[in-house]
Amino acid sequence: MMQFFRSLFGFGGSSGTRTVVGHHVPPVDIKDVGYLTASKARLDTLFHLYNRYKNTPHYPKIKSVHQKTKIIHEYLVARNRLHELELFHIQNTEHFINTFTVIMDAYESQHGIHPDPAKKGSKGRTILSSMRQESRRKAAYVEKPTEMIKPVGRQEISALRKEAGSEVPELSVPDVLINTYARIPYVEEGNVEGLPAGEIGFTSTEEEKEAFLQYVSARLGIKDLSYLGNALVHIPNSDGTYPTGLVPIIHWEGFLYALNLNDFRVFPVRIYRKSG
């Protein structure tokens, strides 16, 4: 510590690890968007949580947790330190939410009170669940579901083709095969540089899988993921390389995706089941 101050006051030579503030080159914008969404979701959860404690003497305290968390969120967002915010949430907010949600759930089920279904998760989830309800309702009417992909007429096709230049690419949902024994190491930022945070595979424990899913959930800014296993694929990186290797396969909102842990791109897949 003293060495550090000495170097600052000119008694230890210049350090050379200084950053110039004010030259704002946002390094990884996409991640930050995910962190921002995740933080807002947590604030939302805290909001709903303290409302559940309304008729308890603990209400003002839980409310103040929400308030203080919000202040921290606003402080760090204003300074564009979203990764730090995410770290804070993972180390603090998540545990608090889990603990006091479980306490409230246990109390409510003890007293035969139905847990409020409206107070579940973030806005994103309720939008998706209402969309699902919509399609369920439509299916019940045996009605053709609204086709979201606009079919184009002949003239439009040739005009678009000219624009596109070459062939219209065919997107596909390839089949992958889940490997039931191999494990992949994965690195989490904030840990010791370069060392894997953990390994994930079909044979991992529930806790390992949960930890991995929390990490992916936070990075992608989505909730309710399940982990299926790893699969051997040729997968494109954002830098143009096309390596072959094992990647984790996750389940989200009714579909399966292969996850590229280098750039966090997801690719829709299907699982190939060997028969016999």
Partner 1 sequence: MADEKKIKEPLINILTAEQEAVLDMYINNLDEFFNATKEFDKTQVEIETLHLKRILTK
Radius of gyration of the chain (CA): 24
The answer to whether 217 and 226 have CB atoms below 8 angstroms apart is no
**Interacting residues with partner 1 between 85 and 124 (CB under 8 A):** 88, 92, 96, 99-100, 103-104, 107
Nearer to partner 1, 61 or 138 (CB): 61
11 lies in the binding site for partner 1 (CB under 8 A): no
Q: Of 52 and 209, which CB lies nearer to partner 1 in the complex structure?
A: 52
Judged by CB under 8 A, the chain residues 52 through 71 that form the site for partner 1 are 55-58, 61-62, 64-65, 68-69, 71
Least separation in angstroms between residue 75's CB and partner 1 is 7
How far apart, in whole angstroms, are the C-alpha atoms of residue 50 and residue 58?
9
Q: How many residues bind partner 1 (CB under 8 A)?
A: 28
Residue 92 structure tokens: 């603090």
Nearer to partner 1 by C-beta: 62 or 216?
Answer: 62
DSSP 8-state secondary structure symbol assigned to residue 91: I
Task: State the Cα–Cα distance between residues 153 and 146, nearest whole angstrom.
Answer: 18
The CA distances from residue 154 to 157, 158, 170, 223, in Å, are 5, 7, 18, 41
Q: Out of 1, 9, 162, 163, which residue is the one contacting partner 1 (CB under 8 A)?
A: 9
Phi, psi at 252, each rounded to 5°: -145, 130
Measured from the CB atom, the residue of 69 and 204 that comes closer to partner 1 is: 69
